[in-house]
Amino acid sequence: MRTLPLVAVTCLVPLASAIEREHVTFAIDHVTASGQSMYVLGDIDELGSGNPAYAVRLEPSAYPTWRATIAIRRGLTFTYRFGWRNDAVTAWKDPSNWNLVSGPFTMSTSAAQPYPLQKGVYYHSLWNPPTLHWRLAGSEGDFTATVMTDAGPGRNENERRWRGAHFGQAERGVEFYFTGGEFGRDPASGWYSTVLDTIFVQDANLYDYVPPPVVSPPQQTNFGTFFSTILGENRPYRVLRPRGYTQNTWKRYPVLYMHDGQNVFDVGPFGSWDADTTANLYTRRGWMREVLIVAVDNTANRARDYIPPDDIVPIGPGSGAPGRANLYAAFLISELKPVIDAAYRTYPDRVHTATIGSSLGGVVALYLGWDHNATFAKCGPMSGSWWLPNFPARVLSEPYRDLRIYLDSGDSGTSNDGAWGTMNLRDGLMAKGYVLEGDLRHVVGYNHQHNEAAWAQRLPKALDFLFPISEAENTLEEVFYRGDCNCDAHVDFDDIDYFVAALSGDAAWRALYQAQHDDAEPPCRYLNADADGSGGVDFDDIDAFVALIGAL
């Protein structure tokens, strides 16, 4: 037996503010008996947090070498071990289904270099002053108390904006709450928790920008009439606008297209995904970015619309003929999407366009991402009908696509909700280069059957992966660290020389930083010197910068 822990230095940074990760390849040569598979188990989230039920199965395309490449957060030291587990789906959820082969081993990912190195928070409150209590997420230790400082007026004469800085750790989760006076506490019980590095808390909502004084709630609109000339039928759809859409006229939003729309927000014939409730909750808590969701209803032609032309429709209208998912895709891309992009403030590009569906809707979600990758950069096939013989086989035979995929199944009910079909698809994607927790997430819902209730339970994991809050443009950093010209996340007298250099331009500011930091690139923005927030650095910033220093 040969153990081969390998580390690649590639970092996954899909957008500027995403959490930095490193590709780590775990591989072991081991001959298994029939009905056994090799797994890696570690003490971090990406490796199952020490619970064999959530260990990561290695893929066997180079058998007897079992391997998996996993995107692990930078700056971590962790232990891991290899073992085999029984392949019976009913045994996957059993933590005792674990047989150690080798380990434990210890390794570290390279240090992260985020800016800022710690977290900062603004808080609108009547308390004077409030106290911030914080700890690293999952630490279960005591909270550290920090009295917040006055950062200016709030929304009325009684309220102030308060500032808490230099707490926690960048790109790591933090748990926190506020107190004021003798009995005041926010939240009343529990705590806030987020990976955001710069946070604004207002009315129990977390933001990555300065929110307007009044924030409209999420709003759903149902459109009962939309005739598709491509499909030759009416296709109703529903739109969920995120919080603050009315006031935040400067903002644009990613778009998520979901299938079987009558079940997405509202209670349909088979239940509801409660996608509106989940998206609203995750947005409010600072766990996912604000997204526009479009839920497209199905019709009697559901099977024909969702099955790719590779395969034959087994039931309903069009049975015995090839599927027409190509026409359904044309309807979405050529007819509906232009209407959505014209009517709402969306990001119309592929990077910000995603699709999620379940069962046959999961098939069409992968089809849209795979065959129409110029439009959809993200997809979430949930409990996909991978019993179709041809389309899944074609996916496994074709080259890697630039596509982020959330893939899942349950483990119960008829055919264990296709758990092994989903696992085999996962293995094939990994063999062609997909990286777990990088551009691929695979989830098994234990005790989940093939129904809306199960998909509603797993939807948070899909939204968190496809639209993580860490990938949103955190415009709050521009406000919070205004005046921090030397990139140390403090505004103090050490910034003066850098501010003076910035007045001569980006090149002069950059040259000063590199001269004092061994030619390293500045981790912060030149526009931190824009002390008056005008959008540029000029002599008009001098008074504002002096005021920032004078406030110390």
Residue 201 in any domain: the answer is no
Task: Note whether 179 and 261 are same-domain residues.
Answer: no
Task: Note whether 142 and 90 are same-domain residues.
Answer: no
Task: Note whether 232 and 354 are same-domain residues.
Answer: yes
Q: How many independent structural domains does the chain possess?
A: 4
Residue 213 in any domain: the answer is no
Give the CATH number, domain containing residue 69: 2.60.40.10
Task: Note whether 489 and 465 are same-domain residues.
Answer: no
Could you state, in chain order, the average pLDDT of each consecutive group of 10 residues for the chain (552 residues)? Answer: 41 49 96 97 96 98 97 94 97 98 95 82 96 92 94 94 92 94 91 95 97 96 94 96 97 98 85 94 96 97 97 93 98 98 98 98 98 98 97 98 98 95 98 97 97 96 96 88 88 92 94 91 89 90 88 56
Distance, in Å, from the CA atom of 279 to the CA atom of 245, rounded to the nearest integer, reads 14
Does the pTM surpass 0.95? The reply is: no
* Token reading at 413: 């009910």
* Token reading at 414: 């008829």
Residue 89 in any domain: the answer is yes
* Token reading at 79: 């232990």
Residue 8: its pLDDT value, please? 39
* Token reading at 485: 């010209």
Task: Note whether 265 and 358 are same-domain residues.
Answer: yes
Are 144 and 156 contacting, i.e. CB atoms less than 8 angstroms apart? no
3-state SS assignment for residue 426: helix
User: Containing domain of residue 80, as a range?
Assistant: 2-108
* Token reading at 159: 């309220």
DSSP string, 105-153: EEEEPPPP--SSSSEEEEEEESSSS-EEEEEETT--SPPEEEE-EEEEE
Task: Note whether 446 and 297 are same-domain residues.
Answer: yes
Task: Note whether 421 and 523 are same-domain residues.
Answer: no
Residue 476 in any domain: the answer is no
Calculate the alpha carbon distances from 330 to 175, 326, 356, 371 in Å. 45, 6, 17, 11
Distance, in Å, from the CA atom of 551 to the CA atom of 149, rounded to the nearest integer, reads 10
Residue 82 in any domain: the answer is yes
Task: Note whether 55 and 132 are same-domain residues.
Answer: no
Task: Note whether 129 and 242 are same-domain residues.
Answer: no
Q: Which helix (H) or strand (E) holds 73?
A: strand 65-73
Residue 114 in any domain: the answer is no
Distance, in Å, from the CA atom of 262 to the CA atom of 236, rounded to the nearest integer, reads 9
Cis peptide before 187, with omega less than 30 degrees from 0?
Answer: yes
Are 417 and 449 contacting, i.e. CB atoms less than 8 angstroms apart? yes
Task: Note whether 234 and 335 are same-domain residues.
Answer: yes
Are 200 and 210 contacting, i.e. CB atoms less than 8 angstroms apart? yes
Residue 211 in any domain: the answer is no
Closest residue by Cα to residue 273 from 463, 453, 467, 464: 453
Residue 214 in any domain: the answer is no
Residue partners of 273: CB distance under 8 A and separation at least 6: 258, 263, 264, 265, 452, 455, 456, 459
Task: Note whether 273 and 162 are same-domain residues.
Answer: no
Task: Note whether 313 and 271 are same-domain residues.
Answer: yes
